[in-house]
Amino acid sequence: MSRRRRRPATMLAALLVLALSAILPASVPAAGTPRRAVPLTELTVATEQVASGLQRPIAITGLPDGRLLIAEKNGTVRAYHPDTGLAAEPVLDLTARIDSSDNERGLLGITPAPNFARTGILYVAYTSLPAGALTLARLPISAPERLQVLLTQEHAEYGNHNGGQVAFGRDGYLYWSTGDGGHANDPFKAGQDLGTLLGKIVRIDVNRACGAKPYCVPATNPFVRTPGARPEIWLYGLRNPWRFSVDPVDNSLWIGDVGQGLVEEVNHIRPWQGGANLGWSCKEGTPVFDAEQCRPGVRYVDPVFEYEHFLTESCSVIGGVVYRGTRTPEAWGTYVASDYCAPRVYAIRPRNDGTYETATIGNLPTQPTAIGTDARGELYVLSDYPGWLSRVRFEVAPPA
């Protein structure tokens, strides 16, 4: 008896897809795929104040349960939830440990461990008493007395240029930014000195301990085998990287490095660019700043975006984040940054050919200190002296 030949399941599935594609409109994206991003000139931003009464809020991070943690300069941490608002009492108080004596000293950065939902562990960066040492530490949010210092860098001479951002990469490593030592003109020539952690972004493995250190240095860090270099260094040649972020999609770093007075800059560093020299204090952005700090044959990685500081109302770039939320898929993949004194929203997006699309797409509330996201990737911004938390959303305007 002859048997009818069965079509393979894969062929049937392909035919079904073809049939559906003939029926569904072309604008409907595949499941889980964001719609195509629109040109930056078709985006604007709008903000909504959602909390007030904060005391110099300077860092923000999202938790898996939907809360936002907000670090205040004096050493307290407040919690905000969209459903219940700003909690009346701090969830964490580190004021007894923190030197907040200068405008740029204090509790500077905060981020949850990747397994925070299970462990409740936070990582914090601050300037510590008695002499303002740059300090990276971790602690259970419910037991601050168990704080463990991981790494420090002496910084007693000047109170400014402390960096202070902390963030985990997709690689599981912890990244931390430090300033060049303060004052002006890179007084310690730290930016180009691999023997100090000043003026750097470091990368460490906090999931293990090595010898007496409560962390390990990843074997793939670029200066592990360089004599005289600190092996924790991932990037160097920075002035004051107050805010950087890690793109959760490709693990690249976006860095807002505060300028001396000529330009403000944004750097975009891919995962394979470990060891990159961002130029300070040979260069400030793309212009040469101090020719004596420039070395023959050294490759300096230029910013992907810079704007004028000199004789303008701008003063300090506030590095932001790449938008990976779902509320506005047309903005997906767009990096946003601002300026503390002139809070325009600078939008930057990589093109496939290696260049970058840029646009100014609106304004943030006054004195932005940090741009962060909740667990869903939606944007929020802090305002320094007003003590505000504001929600940021994109709006799409049709092309003219």
The C-alpha atoms of residue 285 and residue 5 are separated, in whole angstroms, by 68
Percent pLDDT > 90 in the chain is 90
Q: How many CB atoms lie within 10 A of CB 320?
A: 30
- Residue 72 tokens, joined: 């205040």
Q: In the Cβ-directed half-sphere of 387, how many Cα atoms lie within 13 Å?
A: 10
For residues 289-304, give the mean pLDDT.
97
For residues 257-272, give the mean pLDDT.
98
Q: Tell me the pLDDT tens digit for each residue of 75-120.
A: 999 999 999 999 999 999 999 999 999 999 999 999 999 999 999 9
Average pLDDT value for the chain: 92
For residues 179-197, give the mean pLDDT.
97
Amino acid 60: pLDDT? 98
For residues 220-246, give the mean pLDDT.
98
Q: Tell me how far apart the terminal alpha carbons of the chain are, to the nearest angstrom.
A: 69
Regarding predicted confidence, which is higher, 30 or 293?
293
Q: How many CB atoms lie within 10 A of CB 298?
A: 12
> Residue 92 in contact with residue 76, Cβ under 8 Å?
yes
Domain ranges in the chain are 37-396
Amino acid 35: pLDDT? 65
Checking if the pLDDT of 329 tops 50, the result is: yes
pTM of the prediction?
A: 0.91
Q: Tell me the pLDDT tens digit for each residue of 124-159.
A: 999 999 999 999 999 999 999 999 999 999 999 999
Q: Tell me the pLDDT tens digit for each residue of 2-53.
A: 333 334 443 334 433 333 333 333 333 334 444 689 999 999 999 999 999 9
The C-alpha atoms of residue 293 and residue 282 are separated, in whole angstroms, by 5
Q: Tell me the pLDDT tens digit for each residue of 331-389.
A: 999 999 999 999 999 999 999 999 999 999 999 999 999 999 999 999 999 999 999 99
Q: How many CB atoms lie within 10 A of CB 3?
A: 5
Amino acid 378: pLDDT? 98
Instruction: Quickly name the fold that domain 37-396 has.
Output: Neuraminidase (2.120.10)
The C-alpha atoms of residue 36 and residue 331 are separated, in whole angstroms, by 9
Res. 399 pLDDT band, cuts 50 70 90: confident
**Plot region of 391 (φ>0 → left; ψ -120 to 50 → alpha; else → beta):** beta
